[in-house]
């Protein structure tokens, strides 16, 4: 099956610093990747849609200058949380959709637990 990896799986950083999270599709190419955030006891909240070679599309209420997304290749997207604050602490999950087949299925990474102290 399609595999998506995320790195790192856990990160603790100090308030004011920036953190980069990588999302890779390991065995397929993805023109579109998605970044989600999950709050405790809440559903997955879509933050942005990342398109290879173009600017990301952010959902309403998500600060594009704070959450920088780069989709450098068909297998890699990165999310950088800039000037992180404790309220940015959360579980961040990426997903990727294969190019072929017009599939709606998204394959999710294992997630990254960010803790800002």
Partner 1 sequence: DQQVKQNSPSLSVQEGRISILNCDYTNSMFDYFLWYKKYPAEGPTFLISISSIKDKNEDGRFTVFLNKSAKHLSLHIVPSQPGDSAVYFCAATYSGGYQKVTFGIGTKLQVIP
Among candidates 28, 27, 30, 29, which has minimal Cα distance to 50?
Answer: 30
Please report whether residue 43 would count as binding partner 1 according to CB under 8 A.
Answer: yes
Please report whether residue 104 would count as binding partner 1 according to CB under 8 A.
Answer: yes
Strands (E), the chain: 4-7, 10-13, 19-25, 32-38, 44-51, 57-58, 67-73, 76-81, 90-97, 107-108, 112-116
- Cβ proximity to partner 1: between 57 and 82 the closer is 57
Q: How far is the CB of 73 from partner 1 (least distance, A)?
A: 19
Binding site for partner 1 (CB under 8 A): 4, 6, 32, 34, 41-44, 46, 49, 57, 91, 93-95, 97, 104-111, 113
């Amino acid at each position: 099956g399609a595999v998506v990896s995320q790195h790192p799986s856990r990160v603790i950083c100090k308030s004011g610093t920036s953190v980069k999270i990588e999302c890779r599709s390991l065995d397929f190419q993805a023109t579109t990747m998605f970044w989600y955030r999950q709050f405790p006891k809440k559903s997955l909240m879509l933050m942005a849609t990342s398109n290879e070679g173009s600017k990301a599309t952010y959902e309403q209420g998500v600060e594009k200058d704070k959450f920088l997304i780069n989709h450098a290749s068909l297998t890699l997207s990165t999310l950088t949380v800039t000037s992180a604050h404790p309220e940015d602490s959360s579980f961040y999950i990426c997903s990727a959709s294969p190019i072929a087949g017009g599939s709606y299925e998204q394959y999710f990474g294992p997630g990254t637990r960010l803790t800002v102290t």
